[in-house]
């Protein structure tokens, strides 16, 4: 089982001609509200990929529909608590090139207590996975408790903060980072090339497997002296929101199936490629059948 200690947000998504400039007032062309949050997106992606995932989260009582959406997709939601605080929410602009800018209000996602941590640690069993992102509180103690229990920790330090860089990351078995997060962890400029970032990560976390995702420039996996490269699949993005989450959810589901790292990377890249072709976060996460079909077509076209 994978336990995802993760955020749940309501995403308010605005379609705009360009990302708003300082001092500018800009009318949006379209607006929708949907389920989001890096945690919820990753749980949903994992369940849609066929994985076994239990989500640990906090959601405002009036937004119980979001919990139902996770449950309908196959996520175990026993530990998604309905609370009196407002849910976390995100204000997301998406421009004509599919790029986004996000303002995050953490809300109920940062109300976790020691009791939640103890509950998770009493249910989880040695060998289970713990997945976390950086949109919830209480991570340092959770990591230490998970480590003592013999859980495997997978961490996505998104959004990147100075506190995230100071977490006991050596407790993690697996780290998912994009360019900004990698640069923040190793103290290099964001413009650094992939090899410099990977080298910095290897020096800081020699015993942690790392997946560095670079959007259209593909993804790298690194473990000790081994590196694997997965190119991104050629698509025209309309909205990149949730693509990284889709990648992580699919990667973890494939890993749970016991697939090779190359297979995990390829499945995750294909799922992310489908995700960016649709508008929205959780709404654009593909089902496994669609991902498998697209992947077999991709291979057939390469052979033709
Ligand atoms: O990664 C995308 C997610 O980031 C959005 O769904 C939004 O809620 C923010 O958490």
Domain assignment of residue 96, yes or no:
no
Q: Could you tell me which of 282, 287, 285, 237 has the C-alpha nearest to residue 11?
A: 282
Residue where the block lists tokens 């990929």: 49
Average of per-residue pLDDT across 263-291: 96
What DSSP character marks residue 61? G
d(CA 88, CA 136): 10
Q: At what angle do helices 261-275 and 243-256 cross, to 10 degrees?
A: 150
Which of helix, strand or coil describes residue 206? coil
Residue 177's pLDDT is what? 98
Query: How many independent structural domains does the chain possess?
Result: 1
Domain assignment of residue 297, yes or no:
yes
Which of helix, strand or coil describes residue 110? helix
Q: What's the gap in Å between 242 CA and the centre of ligand 1? A: 6
**Phi/psi-derived region of residue 258, left when phi > 0, alpha when psi is between -120 and 50, beta in every other case:** left
CATH number at residue 169: 3.40.1190.20
Domain assignment of residue 101, yes or no:
no
Domain assignment of residue 72, yes or no:
yes
Residue 301's pLDDT is what? 87
Residue 303's pLDDT is what? 82
pLDDT tens-digit profile of 5-23? 999 999 999 999 999 999 9
pLDDT tens-digit profile of 80-94? 999 999 999 999 999
Ligand 1, atom nearest to 90 Cα: 8
Residue 43 — pLDDT band, cuts 50, 70, 90? very high
Domain assignment of residue 23, yes or no:
no
Domain assignment of residue 292, yes or no:
yes
**Residue of 4, 6, 11 to test ligand 1 pocket, by largest number of atoms within 8 Å of CB:** 11
Q: What's the gap in Å between 303 CA and the centre of ligand 1? A: 37
Residue 234's pLDDT is what? 87
Residue 273's pLDDT is what? 97
Residue 280 — pLDDT band, cuts 50, 70, 90? confident
Residue 104's pLDDT is what? 97
**Residue of 6, 63, 89, 102 to test ligand 1 pocket, by largest number of atoms within 8 Å of CB:** 102
Q: At what angle do helices 261-275 and 288-303 cross, to 10 degrees?
A: 100
Query: What's 251-265 look like in SS3?
Result: HHHHHHCCCCHHHHH
Contact 60/85 with Cβ under 8 angstroms? yes
Domain assignment of residue 19, yes or no:
no
Q: Which of 42-46, 124-128, 174-178, 297-301 has the lowest mean pLDDT?
A: 297-301
| Structural domain boundaries enclosing 200 | 2-9+37-88+107-303
Contact 213/228 with Cβ under 8 angstroms? no
Q: What residue ranges in the chain does DSSP mark as E strands?
A: 2-5, 9-15, 30-36, 53-60, 80-83, 88-94, 100-105, 129-133, 152-156, 174-178, 209-213, 219-223, 226-230
Domain assignment of residue 70, yes or no:
yes
Which of helix, strand or coil describes residue 111? coil
Residue 302 — pLDDT band, cuts 50, 70, 90? confident
Show the ligand 1 pocket: residues with CB < 6 angstroms.
7, 9, 11, 36-38, 41, 90, 102, 104, 135, 241-242, 244-245, 281
**Phi/psi-derived region of residue 32, left when phi > 0, alpha when psi is between -120 and 50, beta in every other case:** beta
Q: What's the gap in Å between 121 CA and the centre of ligand 1? A: 26
pTM for the structure as a whole: 0.97
Q: Which of 43-57, 164-178, 200-214, 290-304 has the lowest mean pLDDT?
A: 290-304
d(CA 239, CA 241): 6
Backbone torsions φ then ψ of 2, nearest 5 degrees: -110, 130
pLDDT tens-digit profile of 232-256? 998 999 999 999 999 999 999 999 9
pLDDT tens-digit profile of 94-150? 999 888 999 999 999 999 999 998 999 899 999 999 999 999 999 999 999 999 999
Q: Which of 68-72, 115-119, 185-189 has the lowest mean pLDDT?
A: 115-119
């Amino acid at each position: 089982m994978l336990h995802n200690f993760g955020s749940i947000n309501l995403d308010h998504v605005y379609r705009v001609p360009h990302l708003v400039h300082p001092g500018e007032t800009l009318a949006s062309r379209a607006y929708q509200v949907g389920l989001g949050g890096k945690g919820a997106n990753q749980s949903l992606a994992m369940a849609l990929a066929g994985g076994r995932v239990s989500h640990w989260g906090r959601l405002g009582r009036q937004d119980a529909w979001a919990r139902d959406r996770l449950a309908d997709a196959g996520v175990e939601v026993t530990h998604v608590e309905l609370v009196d605080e407002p849910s976390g929410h995100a204000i997301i602009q998406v421009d004509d090139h599919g790029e986004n800018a996000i303002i995050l209000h953490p809300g109920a996602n940062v109300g976790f207590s020691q009791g939640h941590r103890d509950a998770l640690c009493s249910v989880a069993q040695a060998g289970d996975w713990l997945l976390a992102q950086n949109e919830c509180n209480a991570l340092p103690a959770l990591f230490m408790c998970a480590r003592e229990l013999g859980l495997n920790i997978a961490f996505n330090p998104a959004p990147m903060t100075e506190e995230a860089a100071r977490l006991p990351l050596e407790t993690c078995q697996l780290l998912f980072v994009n360019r900004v997060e990698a640069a923040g962890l190793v103290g290099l400029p964001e413009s650094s090339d992939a090899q410099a970032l990977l080298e910095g990560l290897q020096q800081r976390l020699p015993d942690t497997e790392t997946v560095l995702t670079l959007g259209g420039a593909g993804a790298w996996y690194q473990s000790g002296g081994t590196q694997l490269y997965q190119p991104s699949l050629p698509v025209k993005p309309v909205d990149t929101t949730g693509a990284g989450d889709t990648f992580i959810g699919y990667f973890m589901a494939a890993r749970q199936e016991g697939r090779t790292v190359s297979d995990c990377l390829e499945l995750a890249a294909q799922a992310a490629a489908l995700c960016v072709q649709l508008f929205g976060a959780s709404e654009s996460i593909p089902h496994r059948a669609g991902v498998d079909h697209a992947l077999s077509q991709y291979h057939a076209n390469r052979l033709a």
